[in-house]
Amino acid sequence: MKEKTKVLFICLGNICRSPAAEGALKNLVHQKKLTHSFEIDSCGTSGYHDGDLPDPRTRKAAEKRGIHLTHKSRKLTTNDLNYFDYLLVMDENNFKDVMSLTRDTKIQEKIFLFGQFRSDKGEPIVPDPYYKTEPAFDKVQDLVEDCSRGFLNFLGV
């Protein structure tokens, strides 16, 4: 039997962008009846919000799209770098931070800017909404859903 594709979303706090992306991809994979083929998780490069649920604004934006987020924030570990097949980061700071944790090119090749999978070929960044207001959280939710579609396309599913 084919192994699961293991996907880890990474942002700074793991309470806004990466749990939103985790929810969006899980939702799409569920719709495609492919849940059994994937393991999908998220984490942060910081442990600032360890154990916290996603930000209430993130949860609200997801709920509007029928997605219920229950993930608890956790910090990225070195084990994650080995375990997951795809390390999908939200911005260049995340990219640099994760890259700096390893010199192993096999691991570095697993790190992608998630925004590179967006359909409009805009900036390959999912911007941090934390210091912004609700519309920014809706935009993040739309963007991570679009990028999730692009990522599944990239995987050929």
Cβ closest to ligand 4NP, residue 15 vs residue 88: 15
Residue with tokens 């800017």: 113
Q: Say whether residue 13 binds ligand 4NP (CB under 6 A).
A: yes
d(CA 73, CA 51): 5
Decide if 11 is catalytic.
Answer: yes
- Considering only residues 7, 8, 12, 144, which one is a binding residue for ligand 4NP as defined by CB under 6 A? 12
Min CB(103)–ligand 4NP separation in Å: 25
φ, ψ for residue 86 (rounded to 5)? -130, 130
Name the H helices within 6-133. 17-31, 56-63, 78-83, 92-99, 105-108
Q: Which residue lies nearer to ligand 4NP by CB, 41 or 128?
A: 128
Catalytic option among 11, 16, 43, 147? 11
The residues annotated with a catalytic role in the active site are 11, 17, 128
